Amino acid sequence: MPAANTTIQTSGKRKAAVARAVITKGSGRVWVNSRPIEVWEPYEARLKMQEPILISGARAEGLDISITVTGGGYMGQASAVRTAIARGLIEAFRDNELASVFKHYDRSLLVNDTRRKLPKTPQGRGARKRRQKSYR
């Protein structure tokens, strides 16, 4: 558990989304872009963000987590937020057992997803699509 005056700063990335989390000792509130996580929509994105808190259980109840997330779509932002929260919880508790639980559950809780979109090519409308060729 972090000391009363200690703040922990972590970050998470997914596609174009970047989340920055600040974890302090407090009453157990989680805020994402100055809104409580309980009102975040859509529901699936909220569940994804809460995964590391639910996995860590009662240990995370005494921590206030404030997250700022920018860029990307709502699911990319949710993945970035969950990575930032999981990294912060591990740093707050200094618990290797919790890290192994996170890694066993889903490795992307601890590791940024480096996959990016392929650039468009000149021969077609997108990265892989090509114009049809006519032989007659």
Q: Is position 84 within any domain?
A: yes
User: For 89-108, what is the mean pLDDT?
Assistant: 91
User: For 66-88, what is the mean pLDDT?
Assistant: 95
What is the sign of the dihedral through the CA atoms of 126, 129, 130 and 132?
A: negative
Q: Is position 132 within any domain?
A: no
**CATH number, domain containing residue 19:** 3.30.230.10
Domain count, the chain: 1
Q: Is position 122 within any domain?
A: no
Q: Is position 105 within any domain?
A: yes
Q: Is position 36 within any domain?
A: yes
* Domain housing 69: 7-109
Backbone angles phi, psi at 70, to 5 degrees: -135, 155
Mean pLDDT for the chain overall: 90
**pLDDT of 130 higher than 70:** yes
Q: Is position 121 within any domain?
A: no
Residue-level pLDDT at 1? 61
| Buried-state track 122-135, b at ≥16 Cβ within 10 A, e below 16 | eeeeeeeeeeeeee
Q: Is position 97 within any domain?
A: yes
Query: How far, in Å, CA of 7 to CA of 111, rounded?
Result: 22
Q: Is position 128 within any domain?
A: no
Whole-Å CA distances, 12 to 3, 18, 26: 23, 6, 22
Radius of gyration of the chain (CA): 19
User: For 9-33, what is the mean pLDDT?
Assistant: 94
